[in-house]
Structure 1
Amino acid sequence: MPRPSVADLRPVVHPDGVKDRRSGEHWAGRLYMREISLHIDPYLVNTRVSPNQLTYLMVVVGVLGGAVLLVPGLLGAILTVVLFQVYLLLDCVDGEVARWREQTSVTGVYLDRIGHYLCEAALLVGFGLRGADVFHQQGHAANWLWAFLGTLAALGAILIKAETDLVDVARQRSGLAAVRDEASAPRSSGLALARRAAAALRFHRLVGGIEASLFILLAAVLDACDLTGSGLFFTRLGVAVLAAVAVVQTLLHLVSILASSRLR
């Protein structure tokens, strides 16, 4: 079959609303990755590579992105950023190939969601292990407090996603239609104001894969400058910050769901 052009692909793989999904599209996808993926799609849509295989590859790349944080110094953090950009690219490409071939499926959606859970958790656990100094780069025993905090951040990131996904589960089991965007608004004016403030600050995004990888690189750069002389000070501070953000966001997100009309 002839290779489709970008112009042929665009209306099919980027139908109206794909880039405008309130919670289903990452800002980096809207900003640049969807355009990059459009130029990768022509080389994949006529191959034997299935959309689900691309999703599996996405998961492998994302988990590796967390694992390479065990490489000390700037190199490990740079590799993480690169791998999570590839992870985001694959996250775009798998769905676009599925839409072009008309192979979208419940299995694909499920694998995609599981993949995000695993990859973001792997990143945060890897960050905690990096802070724990598991390879004793500073000549002393590993400090497992940081590994615990990284795991706590990972648990929070998973719970935040689960809280959102379980809304659909609860509604489906109750025989209700899928939730509409307007139902997410809190019924209380005070909670609505707090929600708008949190959305403006965007602090909750720090535990997302792309944002966290960039945050980790920033911490690694500051550590490389050795501004405090303590080696991993900024990495450990970053682990603590992400753990705190994950815990707070898990609680606030749960309250936001219960105070909205999403379960009604």
Structure 2
Amino acid sequence: MAVGRTAPTLEELRAVAQPPEVRSRKNAEHWTAELYLRHISIYFTALLVRTPITANGVTGLMILSGWAIAAALFIPGIWGALLALFFSQLQLYFDCCDGEVARWRGTRSAKGVFLDKVGHYTTEGAVAVALGFRAVGDLTQLRTDPGSAYPYVVAGLALGWFVLLNKALNDMVHVARAFNGLDKLPDTAQATAISVGALAKAKAIARFVPFHRIYHSVEMSILAVLAAVVGLVPDIGISADRFLILALVPLCALSTAGHFLAIMASRRLG
């Protein structure tokens, strides 16, 4: 198999670009990847490896798609939410493809990982903040009636802060391990397991009510669509978006606190 050549068969490309160790990653793979995205991304990757675009160039498209999610949420009503959901799918599609291109060409690098982190951090923080502005409705209220508008803007900013902190906790673990000469933490369930105690029981319960997983751009976009659909009901309107942002903030705060305690109680830090 001539890895890196520009005209691989799909079977050759899958063997290199989608190996089992990638498909089985616990945290790095979004649930949509295994459900359907990896099944279709390989076809686009087959086209990309025939072009001059680099893996980092594909990551750039992922970043732009992510920013477009937040921008779409500023469009009122159902169409803005649906457009955000479309861009969230496109972002993950490119997110699958950039790694596949890098693995096929053998161009995986720290720069690529860095750009990927930039894309996800800026996207998910921006989407959370955009949900707050979306809940204001008519943004002219920020000038004409700030007292009624600011609570939702502040809620969006608070949600963005919690989302970013929650994401950063995982990277803080890797930094702490690296600074102390420990090996890279494997992306497996065993590496993050909590064996006994109340936290272990709470973590087991969370598998059945996984609200801690809704702070990804895809899930937040889906929730925006559901709120927009509910908002179509007469006399509800913008109240659905407002309920959504006000509910997400305390849930994300709880998720972040639980994530911190789970890290401290596990063996992730040695």
Q: TM class, shorter-chain normalised?
A: over 0.9
Equivalent of residue 51 in structure 2, options 44, 47, 55:
47
- 2:230–2:236 CA contact under 8 A, matched in 1: no
Which residue of 2 is the match for residue 82 of structure 1?
Answer: 86
Instruction: Please say which of residues 112-121 and 4-13 is displaced more in the overlay.
Output: 4-13
Give the distance between the partners of 2:108 and 2:6, measured in 1 at CA: 22
State the 1:2 CA deviation.
5.8
Cα distance, 1:130 vs structure 2: 0.4
Query: Which of 199, 203, 212 lines up with 2:211 in the alignment?
Result: 203
Q: Deviations over 1:48-94 (max 9, x none)?
A: 11111111111111111111111111110010000000001000000
1:114-157 Cα distance to aligned partner (Å, 9 max, x none): 211111111111111000224349xx635121111111111111
Map of 1:168 onto structure 2: 174
Separation in 2 of the partners of 1:134 and 1:172? 48
Secondary structure, counterpart of 2:23 in structure 1: coil
Q: Distance in 1 between matches of 2:213 and 2:151?
A: 24
1:66 match: 70
Over the matched positions of the two proteins, sequence identity in percent amounts to 35
Alignment gaps of 5+ in structure 2? none
Q: 1:113 & 1:34 partners in 2: Cα distance?
A: 20
Mapping for residues 234-249 of structure 1, pairs under 5 Å = 234-249=240-255
Contact 2:133 2:139 in 1 (8 A): no
Structure 1 CA distance for aligned equivalents of residues 251 and 58 of structure 2? 31
1:152 aligns with 2:158: yes
The Cα of 1:208 is off from its aligned counterpart by 1.1
Alpha carbons 1:186, 1:259 under 8 Å: kept = yes
Q: Deviations over 1:7-66 (max 9, x none)?
A: 221111001221111111110000000111011011101211111111111111111111
How far did residue 187 of structure 1 move? Answer: 4.8
Structure 2 letter corresponding to 1:170: A
Instruction: Give the C-alpha shift of residue 183 in structure 1.
Output: 3.3
Partner secondary structure for residue 207 of structure 2: helix
Contact 2:55-2:101 at 8 Å conserved across structures: yes
CA RMSD of aligned residues (A): 1.7
State whether residues 131 and 239 of structure 1, in contact with CA within 8 Å, keep that contact through their aligned partners in structure 2. yes
Where do residues 128-143 of structure 1 align in structure 2 (5 Å cutoff)? 128-136=132-140, 141=145, 143=149
Q: Distance in 1 between matches of 2:178 and 2:138?
A: 44
Conserved 8 A contact 1:187-1:261: no
In 2, the alpha carbon distance for the partners of 1:190 and 1:21 equals 26
Counterpart secondary structure, 2:20: coil
Pick the aligned partner of 2:221 from 191, 213, 218: 213
User: How far apart are the structure 1 equivalents of 2:212 and 2:9?
Assistant: 38
CA contact (8 A) 2:6 2:49 kept: no
Please say if residues 58 and 90 of structure 1, whose CA atoms lie closer than 8 Å, have aligned partners that are also in contact: yes
Which of 19, 39, 61 is residue 35 of structure 1 equivalent to? 39
Q: Work out the number of aligned pairs and report it.
A: 261
C-alpha displacement of 1:4: 2.5
Look up the SS of the partner of 1:200 in the other structure: coil
1:13 maps to: 17
Q: Does structure 2 conserve the Cα–Cα contact (< 8 Å) formed by 1:170 and 1:263?
A: yes
Counterpart secondary structure, 2:73: helix
Give the aligned partner of residue 254 of structure 1: 260
**Mean CA deviation greater in 46-55 or 164-173:** 46-55
- Structure 1, unmatched stretches of 5+, are none
Structure-2 residue corresponding to 1:178: 184
- What does residue 233 of structure 1 align with? 239
Instruction: Note the C-alpha offset of 1:199.
Output: 2.3
Secondary structure in 1 matching 2:267: coil
Are 1:112 and 2:111 matched, yes or no?
A: no
Residue 95 of structure 1 is aligned with which of 94, 99, 116? 99
Structure 1 CA distance, aligned partners of 2:67 and 2:251? 22
